[in-house]
């Protein structure tokens, strides 16, 4: 599975290495973030918040990702796991490895994705069903 994701990353890093294809505020880490979102959408986690069953990709990214998008989706469709915990752990590892490639200032989107995935993992491992969404900033909690 990792080889398939690596192929996807190679496709889009090569595509976006051409500066004319980069949208405003493009960061190379955006690629890892959007691949993470595509994986999340593909895995269709049952314990995802009802408002977060899928993650939208930004228009900027979609409008510039080129014809490679279809190739990437075809690869993603071949990534299969037996159960949701395997999917979850694969995505968590993907995010951890992706974050190692970038500096702290480049991790905004990957940190957002990680925060969401870790909350999802907590629901799986604690057997919690979602009843409401808590929009409090976790850094401000005591």
Number of H helices, E strands in the chain: 6, 0
Report pLDDT for 132: 60
**pLDDT single digits (tens) 74-126:** 999 999 999 999 999 999 999 999 999 999 999 999 999 999 999 899 989 98
- Exposure of 104 by Cβ count < 10 A (0-12 exposed, 13-18 middle, 19+ buried)? exposed
**pLDDT single digits (tens) 25-56:** 899 999 999 999 999 999 989 888 777 888 88
Report pLDDT for 29: 95
DSSP string for residues in 68-127: HHHHHHHHHTT---SSHHHHHHHHHHHHHHHHTTS-GGG-HHHHHHHHHHHHHHHHHHHT
CA distance 4 to 6: 5
């Amino acid at each position: 599975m990792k080889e398939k994701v690596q192929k996807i990353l190679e496709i889009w890093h090569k595509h976006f290495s051409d500066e004319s294809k980069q949208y405003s505020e493009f960061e190379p880490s955006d690629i890892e973030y959007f691949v993470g979102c595509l994986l999340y959408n593909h895995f269709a986690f049952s314990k995802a918040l009802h408002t977060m069953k899928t993650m939208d990709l930004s228009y900027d990214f979609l409008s510039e990702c080129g014809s490679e998008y279809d190739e990437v989706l075809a690869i993603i469709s071949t990534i299969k796991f037996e159960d949701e915990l395997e999917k979850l752990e694969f995505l968590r590892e993907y995010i951890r490895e992706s974050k190692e490639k970038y500096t702290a200032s480049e991790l905004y989107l990957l940190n957002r994705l990680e925060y969401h995935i870790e909350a999802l993992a907590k629901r799986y491992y604690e057997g919690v069903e979602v009843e409401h969404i808590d929009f409090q900033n976790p850094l401000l909690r005591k």
